[in-house]
C-alpha cells in the first residue's frame, strides 16, 4: 500500500511538471489553427495516460466504437472523476467542452485550456448560458469539432445521477447533430476529493447515436439519460437519482 501511495504521488508530480510545459506550448500557438493547438494538448494527454498506466496501474477499455458517427456530434458523457475528462480524446475526434468559466482562471492549466476553444459559461446565467452554448456550438460544428457535455453539470459519486441540464439538448435540437451517449465507471478508481487513485481497468461504453432531428430538448435528454442509466446499471449497478437545485431559467 505504501509503495502504491508513492506511485500515486509520483503521478501527481508528473502532472505538476508537465502542465506548465504543455500549456506554454498551447499558449504560444494561439495564432495557429485549432488542430495545431489540439495536437500539443494531445501530447500532454498521452503523457498522462502513460503515467497512469505505468505508475498507478490504471488503464481503460472502450466498448461501442462502431457507434461513433462520421460527422461532428454532441457527446453526453457521464461525469464522475477527472479521468474521463482526459480519456475521450484518445478514441474520439477532436473535441472541446462546455465548462464553467472559472476553470479558465486556473494558472497555466486554465490558460492553456482557454486556447482549445471551450464553451466557458456562467452557470448561474440560466437561459443566456444555454444560448451561449448554442451559438458557440454551432460554430464549432461547422469546423468539425465535437462538443462534450457533462449533462449532470457536476461530478456525481458512483451509483448516483441527477436531472440533466438543457444546454446540450437545446444545442443538438437546434442544429440537428446527433447525441452520442457515453457511460463509464471511472469514479470507482479516481473519486473527487480523494488523493488515492486505484489500479485497475475502468470501462467506457459508447451507445448508438441519438438522431435528434424532430426531437424536443426534453425528448433528447430522456433518450440519453435512459440509455446512460441502463448502461451504468450494467457496468456499475443501479443508479440513484439525486435532486438538482432549481435555478431561474433553463439550466445549462
Q: Are strands 179-184 and 200-206 parallel, antiparallel or unpaired?
A: antiparallel
pLDDT at site 251: 57
In the predicted model, is pLDDT for residue 76 greater than 80? yes
- Diameter over CA atoms, the chain: 56
Give dist(CA 115, CA 62) in Å, integer: 28
Give dist(CA 169, CA 149) in Å, integer: 9
Does 213 map to a domain? yes
The pair phi, psi for residue 147, each rounded to 5°, is: -115, 125
Q: Which three cell numbers stand for residue 38?
A: 489540439
32-36, 154-158, 168-172, 202-206 — which is least confidently predicted?
154-158
Per-residue pLDDT reduced to its tens digit, 18-41: 999 999 999 999 999 999 999 999
Domain that holds residue 136: 59-242
Number of structural domains in the chain: 1
Does 218 map to a domain? yes
CATH number at residue 79: 3.40.1130.10
Does 23 map to a domain? no
Does 52 map to a domain? no
Per-residue pLDDT reduced to its tens digit, 78-119: 999 999 999 999 999 999 999 999 999 999 999 999 999 999
Does 21 map to a domain? no
Does 43 map to a domain? no
Per-residue pLDDT reduced to its tens digit, 51-74: 999 999 999 999 999 999 999 999
Does 202 map to a domain? yes
Per-residue pLDDT reduced to its tens digit, 239-250: 888 866 555 445
- Above pLDDT 70, what percent of the chain? 96
Cα pseudo-dihedral 64, 95, 194, 157, rounded to 10? -50
Does 20 map to a domain? no
Average per-residue pLDDT for the chain:
93
Give dist(CA 233, CA 164) in Å, integer: 17
Map the chain to HEC letters: CHHHHHHHHHHHHHHHHHHHHHHHHHHHCCCCCHHHHHHHHHHHHHHHHHHHHHHHCEEEEEECHHHCCCCCCEEEECCCCCHHHHCHHHCCCCEEEEEEHHHHHCCCHHHHHHHHCCEEECHHHCHHHHHHHHHHHHHHHHCCCEEEECCCCCCCCCCEEECCCCHHHHHHHHHCCCEEEEEECHHHCCCCCCCCCCCEEEEEEECCCECCCCCCHHHHHHHHHHHHHHHHHHHHCCCEEECCCCCCCCCC
Q: Which three cell numbers stand for residue 177?
A: 447533430
Amino acid at each position: 500500500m505504501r509503495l502504491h501511495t508513492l506511485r500515486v504521488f509520483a503521478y501527481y508530480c508528473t502532472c505538476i511538471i508537465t502542465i506548465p510545459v504543455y500549456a506554454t506550448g498551447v499558449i504560444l500557438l494561439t495564432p495557429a489553427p485549432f488542430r495545431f493547438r489540439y495536437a500539443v494538448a494531445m501530447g500532454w494527454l498521452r503523457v498522462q495516460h502513460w503515467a497512469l498506466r505505468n505508475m498507478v496501474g490504471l488503464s481503460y477499455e472502450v466498448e461501442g466504437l462502431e457507434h461513433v458517427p462520421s460527422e461532428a456530434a454532441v457527446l453526453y458523457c457521464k461525469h464522475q472523476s477527472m479521468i474521463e475528462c482526459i480519456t475521450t480524446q484518445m478514441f474520439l475526434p477532436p473535441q472541446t467542452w462546455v465548462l464553467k468559466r472559472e476553470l479558465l482562471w486556473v494558472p497555466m492549466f486554465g490558460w492553456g485550456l482557454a486556447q482549445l476553444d471551450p464553451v466557458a459559461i456562467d452557470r448561474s446565467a440560466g437561459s443566456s448560458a444555454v444560448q451561449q452554448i448554442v451559438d458557440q456550438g454551432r460554430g464549432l460544428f461547422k469546423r468539425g469539432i465535437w462538443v462534450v457535455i457533462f449533462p449532470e453539470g457536476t461530478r456525481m459519486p458512483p451509483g448516483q445521477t441527477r436531472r440533466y441540464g438543457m444546454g446540450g439538448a437545446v444545442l443538438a435540437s437546434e442544429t440537428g447533430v446527433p447525441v452520442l451517449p457515453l457511460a463509464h465507471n471511472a469514479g470507482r478508481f479516481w473519486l473527487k476529493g480523494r488523493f488515492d487513485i486505484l489500479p485497475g481497468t475502468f470501462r467506457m461504453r459508447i451507445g448508438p447515436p441519438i438522431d435528434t432531428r424532430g426531437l424536443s430538448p426534453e425528448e433528447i435528454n430522456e433518450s440519453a439519460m435512459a440509455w446512460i442509466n441502463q448502461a451504468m446499471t450494467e457496468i456499475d449497478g443501479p443508479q440513484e437519482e439525486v435532486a438538482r437545485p432549481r435555478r431561474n431559467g433553463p439550466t445549462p
